[in-house]
Amino acid sequence: MHFESVTFDLDGTLLDTVADLAEACRLMLDEVGAPPRSQAEVHSFVGKGMAVLVERCLTHEHPPTDEQLHAAIESFKRHYSTVNGKFCQIYEGVLDGLDAWKASGLKMGVVTNKPGMFTEQLLDRMGLADYFDVVVSGDTTAHKKPHPEPILHACRLFNVRPDRNLHIGDSENDILSARAAGSPTFCVPYGYNEGKPVDSADCDALVSDLLVAYRQALTFQDLKHK
């Protein structure tokens, strides 16, 4: 195989976490006295990390004040820590795909914008932690995706050149981060991407699930640098 390592986004790629997030948002909004949000709205707000998710939940005609946002973030942290993994589902094809990647001997990692206090907790609760050699969360580095630093940091930990790392995600944030890092990127179509469909023209392959991604990677030769 051309690749020496593979990194995966978490929310929307490995796990369907929107029900957990929606429940934590519901509890948070009720606690701070803000109007409720539907699960569909929360689905469209996911992608740029916890603080942006909370801010989007609070924003109607005007954004929240710094004080309101801080209080809401602290509330969300408390509630999400309790529900994290409670309603979450592993996407179809993920376990078969991870087993195939693991058997290949490639180094494997998670690169997510989710804060570290929730990332490892969720991987443990869902029984996925042992698949990964490296976990890079939204507060591991100074920047989140779409900045390249999270993927570059994973590659440094792997001791693998970025162009030998394949990143698999569900969103424009993943594509932009991987492109800037110099890593090829595959995308799944079933995730969040802030409520927009992923454009297959922007990634190196649009794959239906992680097992298909593994099979596609076996024949992947020419890297497209856009």
pLDDT at 201 over 90: no
Q: Which residues are catalytic?
A: 9
What are the beta bridge partners of residue 190? Answer: none
Contacts of 132 (CB under 8 A, 6+ apart): 108, 109, 110, 123
Q: What is the pLDDT of residue 195?
A: 77
What are the beta bridge partners of residue 89? Answer: 16
Establish if 224 belongs to a structural domain. Answer: no
Domain of 187 in residue numbering reads as 5-16+89-218
92-149 pLDDT tens trace? 999 999 999 999 999 999 999 999 999 999 999 999 999 999 999 999 999 999 999 9
Q: What is the pLDDT of residue 193?
A: 83
Instruction: For residue 170, name the pLDDT band (cuts at 50, 70, 90).
Output: very high
Q: Is the domain of 9 the same as that of 102?
A: yes
How far apart, in whole angstroms, are the C-alpha atoms of residue 2 and residue 4? 7
Q: What is the pLDDT of residue 189?
A: 93
DSSP H stretches of helix in the chain: 18-32, 39-45, 50-58, 66-83, 94-104, 116-125, 149-158, 172-181, 210-218
Q: Is the domain of 32 the same as that of 48?
A: yes
- What is the three-class DSSP state of 171? coil
19-36 pLDDT tens trace? 999 999 999 999 999 999
- What is the three-class DSSP state of 40? helix
Q: Is the domain of 201 the same as that of 100?
A: yes
